[in-house]
Amino acid sequence: MVVLLLGMWFLSGCTTTNNIEFPDVENNVAYSKVASLGFVNANEKVPYGSNESQFALLWRATQAEQSKSKPLVVLLHGGCWLSAYDIKHTYALSTGLAQVGFNVWSVEYRRSGKSGGGWPVTFDDIKAGILASSVYNSGEFKLNNTVVIGHSAGGHLALLAGGQMSELKGVIGLAPITDIKAYAAGKNSCQTVTKDFMQGMPSDKPNEYTQANPSEQPLHQQSIILQGANDSIVPAYNLEQLNRPVDLLEGVGHFDWIHPGSAAFSTLVKHLNGIDK
């Protein structure tokens, strides 16, 4: 059951109406370029639970008329499922999506470490955060006109959530972790903390890894995978076995998807506009 707590907090600076002009960038964007981007503050902060990490931020489309024919975007940020990486690094992405006509419901959630997350707590938060959008403001947003977009570890969670929420309009994974078992065996800094999120390795927690593995769970029928060929943080793992459309972009790295000045962002918007049409 989703409990949408009463009360909303308006964020400082949310009265800004000027659009941000995001600089055009070459492929394979560095994280530092994303982190330094400007953004427009969210219009509202809406808690969906009692923990300080259980809230969503709502960005209204810059022009309200633009959003009437478009789905709500529920955005799930990445960051290796770690508490060290929070919702803030996708403020620019939320701003960019709002500026091209989408209302954006960006979900914060408990993650590995001090925020108290991990499997399955984190996944439970994700599902609650998505469902909370459908009861907000007397049902302004409908799940059947909602697309869940997740980046990296958020893409992993988006794919899993879509498999359990068939009423959604669609799911888009941006460089998603599609095979968590294979990912846990890797050696980069994000791969090596998979064991923290799962509280063990696949050999220790075989059932849990199966439950948390998009490659072994049903996916939403309208799922799309967007992947960069130059992504060294989340390499593509046997994407064909997912049996869902994949758009593999040459030269694109891991963070291009969350920079509104990138070619990858334009590809995301194209798919978002075309989903289920």
pTM above 0.85, yes or no: yes
Q: What is the model's pLDDT at position 13?
A: 35
10-residue mean pLDDT series, the chain (277 residues): 38 54 97 96 98 98 83 98 98 98 98 97 98 97 98 98 98 98 97 98 98 97 97 91 95 98 98 82
Q: What is the model's pLDDT at position 64?
A: 76
Q: Cα(45)–Cα(59) distance, rounded to whole angstroms?
A: 9
Q: What is the model's pLDDT at position 185?
A: 97
How many Cα atoms within 13 Å fall on the side-chain side of residue 136? Answer: 26
Tell me the domain boundaries of the chain.
Answer: 31-274
Q: Cα(12)–Cα(51) distance, rounded to whole angstroms?
A: 21
Q: What is the model's pLDDT at position 152?
A: 98
Q: How far is CA 154 from the centre of its chain?
A: 4
Tell which residue, 107, 79, 220, has the closest CA to residue 159: 220
Q: What is the model's pLDDT at position 17?
A: 53
Task: Tell me which CATH homologous superfamily contains domain 31-274.
Answer: Alpha/Beta hydrolase fold, catalytic domain (3.40.50.1820)
